[in-house]
A and B are shown apart, each in its own frame.
Chain A
Amino acid sequence: MKNPRVELKTVYGEVLVELGADNPDIFVVEADLMKASGSKPFLENYPDRHINVGVAEQNLVGIAAGIAAAGGIPFACTMANFMAKRACDQVAMSVAYNMFNVKLVGCYAGLTQEKNGGTHISFMDIGVMRSMPGMTVLVPGDSEEFRQAVRAASVFQGPVYIRMPKLLQGSLPGKTYEFEIGPCYQYGNGNDLTVIATGLATDIALDSLQVLEEAGIAARVLHVPTIKPLDTESVIRCARETRACITIEDHATVGGLGGLIAETLTAACPVPLARIGMQDAFGLTADLEFQLEHFGITASHVAAEAIRLLDGRGQNE
């Protein structure tokens, strides 16, 4: 039985309170989305260090930059869609350009916006954020990893973007590591195929291992919680050790993990590659499972693409 999905706002609220207790330099800046981000416990514990700038994402990031300029460590949170698009210039010019110690948290990220629909579903945030020079981009795969990513970001010097879906698995099955910024994490050792996954898609990638095995394909999953800087060594090693790669994400493949892996492997180790994710499309007004199915972000689609890439033949056949 799988671990149930957990609402990350509970985790964010808890971890911020812990961080606030340890470090008086931690600030929380909001654009009136505390109901989505979950930072209210921080407001209750440290009202002086919690700033709600109103519904104004550019000002959210600009003020966070100012707080960092004065030596603080602001966690600025709004929906991932608005962080990446409305505040894009402030993230680039006021935060990244100055290498400020601002932590940007994009909540309700990706398809977990569900029935808020196409206007709210962020499918560009990874692409936008990883294009910012010097930005560290974290896309955790389960709620524990999200907690650890927030903690890691708080002690990391420099700008960080953390992708925060509404929900994630409590804990990915069979985990053997503690998250740190940088490494990819490998599940399994199959030599036919590497499924490269990030965020909530890692859980789906792990589900695909069983389906692939049934199809006679020995696969491994490479989970990428640090999109930038990418652990290129692990990606290239896995590409070399297997015959094909498939990326999977709840984000546009353009600019997202799919784009990133294509860029990396094309330059270093070209292998047959399929990229699963949103393809030149806005999100839908539908629940998560419906959207995952609609965009083909499923274990069965991974299997179908694997069979196509490998001409239907696993080495074990």
Chain B
Amino acid sequence: MSKDEQRIRTAEHWARKIRLDIIDMCCRVGPERKAHPGGALSAADIVAALYFDKMRIDPDTPQWPDRDRFILSKGHTCPVLYAALANRGYFSKDLYGTLRRVDGNLQGHPDMRKTPGVDMTTGSLGHGLAAGAGIAMSAKIDRKDFRVFVLLGDGELQEGLVWESAMASPRLGLTNLTVIIDINRLQSGGSVEQILPLHPLREKWASFGWNTIEINGHHMEEILAALDLAVLEQERPTAILARTVKGKGVKFMEDDNSWHQRTLTEEEYCLAVKMLESGGSA
């Protein structure tokens, strides 16, 4: 196996683990406390690529000042982040049962004060890019070489603050900032296209001065190649537009927006595990 193939297989392996843990959390959370599995599953490959390939991090030193940062701006899909952090060794999977519990480390939205490895509290949509830009600006001024990755949802792009930050980041010269947009085409109330269409999305970001890359957000080779390009870019911040499928990996959840926020029953959980372990949604 070539080195590149090895990178791809490794990241894919962890993406599968992350998906299994997402459905575990989203079942265990119980019917009283619904988590958001659909948008977590659509982001699983991207988050796996970041935490198991691209990011310079040290799980033993979550506050390492020179670490790369990841901000899950679409904070409601936090099971994907918690699964990545636990699999990467930031905390024990025993904490999965604390998701959305009053005294739990795993809050309903990422809370940097409660969860080791969370680089920014998010939940109120649209905040992540501004905070990421601030961190990236700090790195630039202090001549540090760490990078900042911000994952946004496509529905989230309807928030005005996203565009304030999108406008400012190229002007501030934030070449160390990468945005990844998880374009799963569904938001809480239905189809993004029907509620408030975004296209031409690539042209929007490009016209704001971003280096733009369009990929299939479930094709690991494309994800890794895009992240590699983002790091090489010397002139502009990079926006990776990742086409994804909400619920990806579990056939009965794919493109079904009832899984935006919903708890898996035991039966659904068992079926989902089978689907994931058999290597996909087929």
Contacts and interface: CB of A to CB of B under 8 A. Distances in A.
A90 B135 CA distance: 15
B interface SS class: helix
Contacts of A98: 112-113, 120-121
Interface residues of B, number: 31
Interface in B113-137: 113, 119-121, 123-124, 127, 129-137
A53 interface: yes
Given A69-B131, A69-B134, A59 B161 contact: yes
Contact of A48 (B131, B141, B164): B141
B160 A66 contact: no
Given A48-B141, A49-B141, A97-B121, A90 B161 contact: yes
Interface string B140-174: 01100000000000000000110011011001100
A93 interface: yes
Nearest to B120: A69
A93 B129 CA distance: 14
Contacts, number: 99
A211 B123 CA distance: 53
B138 interface: yes
A67 interface: yes
Contacts of A90: 127, 130, 161
A interface SS class: helix
Indicate the size class of the contact surface on chain A: 20 to 34
B130 A67 contact: no
A66 B65 contact: no
A90 B132 CA distance: 13
A62 to B, nearest CB: 2
Contacts of A69: 112, 119-120, 131, 134-135, 138
Interface string A128-171: 00000000000000000000000000000000000000000000
Contact of A94 (B130, B160, B167): B130
A94 B131 CA distance: 8
A53 B133 CA distance: 10
B141 A58 contact: no
A66 B127 CA distance: 10
Interface in A46-85: 48-49, 51, 53-54, 56, 58-59, 61-72, 74
A59 B165 contact: yes
Contact of B138 (A54, A70, A97, A99): A70
B135 A59 contact: no
Given A62-B133, A94-B127, A53 B168 contact: yes
B134 A66 contact: yes
B139 interface: yes
Interface in B82-137: 111-113, 119-121, 123-124, 127, 129-137
A89 interface: yes
Max count, chain A CB within 10 A of own CB: residue among B121, B130, B135: B130
A65 B136 CA distance: 12
A82 B130 CA distance: 17
29 contacts: A48-B141, A51-B137, A51-B172, A53-B164, A56-B164, A58-B130, A58-B164, A59-B168, A62-B127, A62-B130, A63-B133, A63-B137, A63-B168, A66-B130, A66-B133, A66-B134, A67-B134, A67-B135, A69-B135, A70-B134, A70-B138, A70-B139, A70-B142, A71-B65, A94-B120, A94-B121, A94-B127, A98-B113, A99-B113
Given A63-B131, A90-B130, 15 more contacts: A53-B168, A54-B171, A56-B164, A58-B130, A59-B130, A59-B161, A62-B165, A63-B134, A69-B120, A69-B131, A70-B65, A89-B124, A90-B127, A93-B123, A94-B130
Interface of A: 27, 48-49, 51, 53-54, 56, 58-59, 61-72, 74, 89-90, 93-94, 97-99
Q: Which 3 A-B pairs have the closest CB atoms?
A: A66-B134, A62-B130, A70-B138
